[in-house]
Structure 1
Amino acid sequence: MNTIAIDIVTPNGSVYSNDQAELIVLQTETGEMGVMAGHIPTVAPLKIGAVRVSIGNSKEHIAVTEGFAEIRPGQVTVLVQAAEVADEIDIERAKESLKRAEERLQHQKQENVDFQRAERALHRAINRIEVSKFR
């Protein structure tokens, strides 16, 4: 089977890289997008979600924040602010982030809370917890 390379990059550098992917599933703003070798060149905005990479009989799951995917026939480059491979997610830290975000959202009207920022933090925490289940 043909393979495609993937590189997930944050401002701190590459978080995940593999050149033997058979299928890459991205969470785009318009829905899930599957990418295989030979895909037409595309740039797609990503939402908070998981990038799933199929390599032979195994799958890798990577939690990502909003960003973009640049897709070329032999390479996918994912550019995001933060990314974590499922095995490296600190579940306790993610649960604490979830709790803080929920508290901020509950107190938004009483305090000067940035609702959109708190809501994104909530989605990031939920995503990290969900992706960590694929260890």
Structure 2
Amino acid sequence: MGDLQVELVAADRTVWSGSASMVIARTVEGDVGVLRGHAPMLSLLTEATVEISEVDGPVVVAAVDAGFLSVAGDRVSILSEYAVLAQDIKIDEAKAELDAAHGLPTSDERELRIRRAEARIRAAEKAS
């Protein structure tokens, strides 16, 4: 009781749901830490990692693509088209994606692919 109720949701499924003491996410304005009693907010997420500190448990690390972070009444919703828990990331595949993205011609798509691959690599490394 008195904890944050957190949902991490991808377009096709709920990735993680439960009680947490803190959530850290990267928005377009910068990193945001959410504790119990946080003011209501709605912010845009950027391709990065999200850290969810479970109550009396480990820190859940996930990689997310752009999306939304919503905080209201000790409920935190992290909504992203794509989200994956760090333990489900195959780091070799993420590194291959990063190498492939660096080989693309300079464009917005190239930068987006680089940010996504780097987020997955950071998430996997934080979890190991």
Fold shared by both chains (TM-score > 0.5): yes
Residue of 110, 113, 128 corresponding to 1:121: 113
Which runs of 4 or more aligned residues in structure 1 lie more than 4 Å from their structure 2 counterparts after TM superposition?
none
- Alpha-carbon distance in structure 2 between the residues aligned to 1:73 and 1:39: 8
- The reply on whether 1:130 has 2:122 as its aligned counterpart is yes
Deviation at 1:58, TM superposition (A): 2.2
Unmatched 5+ stretches in structure 2 = none
Aligned residue in 1 for 2:23: 24
Q: TM-score, normalized by length of structure 2?
A: 0.91
- Alpha-carbon distance in structure 2 between the residues aligned to 1:45 and 1:11: 16
Q: Give the length in aligned residue pairs.
A: 126
- Identity, in percent, stands at 27
Deviation at 1:57, TM superposition (A): 5.1
**1:59-106 alpha-carbon deviations (Å, 9 max, x no partner):** 11111111111111221111111111111101121111111100004x
| The structure with more radius of gyration | 1
- The reply on whether 1:4 has 2:4 as its aligned counterpart is yes
SS at match of 1:101: helix
- Alpha-carbon distance in structure 1 between the residues aligned to 2:66 and 2:123: 15
Superposition CA RMSD, Å: 1.4
Unmatched 5+ stretches in structure 1 = 109-114
Q: TM-score, normalized by length of structure 1?
A: 0.87
SS at match of 1:22: strand
- Alpha-carbon distance in structure 1 between the residues aligned to 2:47 and 2:81: 10
